[in-house]
Amino acid sequence: MSIIELSDISKYYKVNKKKFKALDNVNLKIEKGESVAVLGKSGAGKSTLMHIIGLLDRYDEGSYKLNGEEVSKLGDSELSKLRNEEIGFVLQDFSLIDQKTVLMNVMLPLYFNKKYPANHMKEKALDILESLGIKDQADKKASQLSGGQRQRVSIARALITEPSVILADEPTGALDSDTADEIMHLLTELNEKKGITVVVVTHDKRIAEYCKRKIYIADGKCVTE
């Protein structure tokens, strides 16, 4: 079953009053439980594609179905709800709130998700931190952690709402090679043991090798799969 299905997706931006086509009739299917790497040079359209898949940006032409639901018909609040419930983000810069504790950073998405009562949030966050080997860091501020620890916190935050998909945008770009391997092993384990669909956007072919399928983007088009 396709969890992500893009049909003839095009996206335009205006640059100096001229129309620039960032994505050009992209067709892509990602099955539930797959691990996929999206590869391409800077400016190829990787980030635009991730923003559309992650419901952070709208497209101008085509169709996008997430879990069989056509997302173009949804309003902003419906998109926000769907994004919170179905998609977890892991980003290169970690996007943590440095002056908040690790525990608070991980719990944050639950404040926008009405499925979990307040008394359950802390317990759930601590369980995830324990599974990732960083429960002992729960009361530290995010700014006190190493790069690898910060990315583990980012992954814990991505997992807290039990998403169907993890979108990782250059998740190892700010890490040394050994720590990068640790993070990719962790994402691979989440894919293989928990069945979470993992999409990794990267320019690094070595990192892409951790994924079972590779998609190449050039000039806004899927050139090979």
The mean per-residue pLDDT over the stretch 101-113 comes to 91
Tell me the pTM. Answer: 0.91
Reply yes or no on whether the pLDDT at 38 is more than 90: yes
CA distance linking residue 191 with residue 14, whole number of Å? 37
The 10s digit of each residue's pLDDT in 158-193 is 999 999 999 999 999 889 999 999 999 999 999 999
pLDDT at 14 over 90: no
Predicted pLDDT of residue 15 = 82
Share of the chain above pLDDT 90, in %: 81
pLDDT of residue 114: 72
Mean residue pLDDT of the chain comes to: 93
Q: Which amino acid, residue 127?
A: D
Which one, of 155, 150, 160, lies nearest residue 100 by Cα?
150
- Residue 182 corresponds to which tokens in the numbers above? 């640790």
The structural domains of the chain, ordered by start, are 34-56+80-224 (3.40.50.300)
pLDDT of 16 over the 90 cut: no
pLDDT higher than 70, residue 22: yes
